[in-house]
Amino acid sequence: MAEVSKEEIERKVAAGEKLDRADLRGAQLGGAKLAGASLRRCDFEGANLESANLQKVVLKNASLREAYLAGADLRDANLDGADLEGANLQKANLAGANLGRANLEGADLTGANLRTAKLAHAQLDSANLGGADLTAADLSRCDLVECYLGGVKASKANFSGANLEEANLEEGDFADASFDDAQLPSIGATAASFARANFLKADLSNANLVRANFGGADLRKANLERAKLDQTVLTGARIAGIQTKDAALGAIVMDWADVSPDDDGSKRAQGEAAMAALTGKTADVGARPKNVRYFGAGDVLRFAALEFDAGASVEIESRFEQCSIAIGEGTELIVGSEGVLAGCSIKGGGHITIHGQFFEGDKGPGIVGPRRVVVTTGGVLVGSVAQGDDPTMFGFEPGSRLRMKITRSTNGRRSE
């Protein structure tokens, strides 16, 4: 048990003294101001550091087993190799912190801020990260076995080579995250979003993927044997070499899939051909079909009136200004992440997916009569959507930005 007082420790830190290797087991340091302190190899086992200011502290190889760090400010702290087994870090701020090789087994990180944190090779098995913010964090080669990641914000996070066996990822946002070569057998990922995530050669065997969103994800050579997929979104996913032996395939949403093995978009499959490719059956999959229209990044189109036939597939990575777009029944219109539709209108009973930005013109509504409108993470929709006689199906991913009004259009007239 440490006998030194909080005030004495604060005084030494303020004077620039190093406290490396200090024995502070069980110390009562709630709210302590220790920013920038050198605390290498200190022993804080069982200590109370609730709401303490630990910004940029050096706790390299320190022991914080069972320490109470709820609400602590650990921004940009160096916890490389630290032992935090069983520590309470609820709602702690660890943004930008270095937790490489740290032991967080069984730690409570509920609601913690780990944005851009470095956790490569860390031990997080059985840890609780429910609702934590892992945006752009590095968790490569981490041990996350039986970890709880429900409701996390983990867009653009790096899980490459990590072990997530039997982890719970339910309702988490993993858009644009990397899971290449990761081990994810028997995970629970009900209603999780993996839009555009990378699962190249990942192991998802026996996974529960019910209502999960893999729209635009890279699943090439991934192992989904015995996985459960029902109401799972796979539209636009890259599925060349995917393994789905004995998988439970229920109602899958997959308007089309990219089956080109070299990830060059040269081969697409739609409808039955896409399902055949998913299940490994022989399918008549040729080059990109003739009814696909592609507008590449860097191009600008102004004051144009465009019309696309029923069943066409349209991808827009360009900037459209003051353009009117008419789409036929069942047309797939995708505004890519680089696409911007400024002052534009879209009319027709197609399926609209917005990864980029859509802003309606002065004469709204901007979108009239669509069968489906989906705005993915990072997508922007500003304007009105007028439904046709059949209600529009809407899907808005976490992180999408909306300023919109939904109205009803009947025989060319609008009603609220």
pLDDT digits (tens, 9 = 90+) for 32-79: 999 999 999 999 999 999 999 999 999 999 999 999 999 999 999 999
Q: Which of 223, 98, 107, 100 is nearest to 165 (CA)?
A: 223
Rounded Cα distance, 84 and 99, in Å: 10
Query: How far out from the chain centre does Cα 179 lie?
Result: 11
pLDDT in tens, 82-112: 999 999 999 999 999 999 999 999 999 999 9
pLDDT in tens, 236-266: 999 999 999 999 998 898 888 999 877 666 6
Spatial neighbors of 17 by CB under 8 A, at least 6 apart, are none
Q: If you average pLDDT over residues 195-201, what whole number do you get?
A: 96
- Per-residue model confidence (pLDDT) at position 265: 65
Rounded Cα distance, 12 and 8, in Å: 6
Amino acid at residue number 385: V
Say yes or no to pLDDT of 376 above 50: yes
Say yes or no to pLDDT of 355 above 90: yes
Rounded Cα distance, 177 and 135, in Å: 9
Question: Which segment, 200-209, 241-250, 387-396, is predicted with the most confidence on average?
Answer: 200-209
Q: Within 10 A of 192 (CB to CB), how many other CB atoms are there?
A: 28
Q: If you average pLDDT over residues 313-317, what whole number do you get?
A: 90
| Helix, strand and coil in the chain, % to nearest 5 | 5, 30, 65
Q: Strands 413-415 and 401-410: what pairing?
A: antiparallel
Spatial neighbors of 346 by CB under 8 A, at least 6 apart, are 325, 327, 333, 352, 358, 366, 367, 368, 370
**Percent of the chain with pLDDT strictly greater than 90:** 76
Confidence of residue 406 (pLDDT cuts 50, 70, 90): very high
Q: Which of 329, 325, 350, 354 is nearest to 339 (CA)?
A: 354
pLDDT in tens, 127-180: 999 999 999 999 999 999 999 999 999 999 999 999 999 999 999 999 999 999
Among the residues of 280-365, which ranges form H helices?
Answer: none
CA atoms within 13 A on the CB side of 102: 31
Q: Within 10 A of 272 (CB to CB), how many other CB atoms are there?
A: 11
Q: If you average pLDDT over residues 211-216, what whole number do you get?
A: 94
Cβ–Cβ < 8 Å for 87, 69: yes
- Per-residue model confidence (pLDDT) at position 413: 44
Say yes or no to pLDDT of 283 above 70: no
Rounded Cα distance, 295 and 312, in Å: 14
Say yes or no to pLDDT of 324 above 80: yes
pLDDT in tens, 154-166: 999 999 999 999 9
**Percent of the chain with pLDDT strictly greater than 70:** 94
What are the boundaries of each domain within the chain? 292-415
